[in-house]
Amino acid sequence: MKTMKFSLEIRSDIGEPEVVVIAPEWSTELDSLRSYVLDLDEGGTQVESMRLVGIDGGNATLIKPSQIMRIRTQDRNIYADTRQGSWRLKQRLRELEETLPAEDFIRINQGEIVNLSFVSRMDLSLSGTIALTLLDGTKCFVSRRSLKRFKSALKL
């Protein structure tokens, strides 16, 4: 492994942290470092290192949170909907709500969490609710109970 110099500069005049890497050429190590830094959330946790295990019949697959459009309940089971299909999860909805990144995932009703990155349209014309359309055309509705939290999360 190559040696690397490390320096850190603390300045109160900047808004958010900035990472600058100076290197003679691009390398796989730099690519890994870039991916690592970009996948950190505000608390310093590796977001994309988190994986959920999705089950479909007898098959299991690892799902990154960034692949999930929504998480929903159906017939007392929890499902993660991705562009590749639906996968049954073993976690409870409350556990998922607490562990998934809050800036992307928000609970919109008693049985559903959506990934805001996959919301393509919001219909605010309905009285007492908001209708969400996801990128795949799925419609979801924000319950009256969740409306205040949803609006404050989006600064509406």
pLDDT in tens, 4-35: 787 888 888 888 778 888 888 877 777 677 76
Instruction: Provide the greatest CA pair distance for the chain.
Output: 61
Q: Long-range pairs for 8-15 at CB < 8 Å and ≥24 separation?
A: none
Phi and psi of 121, rounded to 5°? -155, 145
Taking only the tens place, the pLDDT of each residue in 92-140 is 999 999 999 888 899 999 999 999 989 999 998 888 899 999 999 999 9
Model pLDDT, residue 131 = 94
Question: What mean pLDDT do residues 151-156 have?
Answer: 84
Amino acid at 42: E
User: What's the distance, Cα to Cα, between the start and end of the chain in Å?
Assistant: 50
pTM of the model: 0.67
C-alpha atoms less than 13 angstroms from C-alpha of 46 in its C-beta half-sphere = 10
Q: How far apart are CA 90 and CA 107, in angstroms?
A: 18
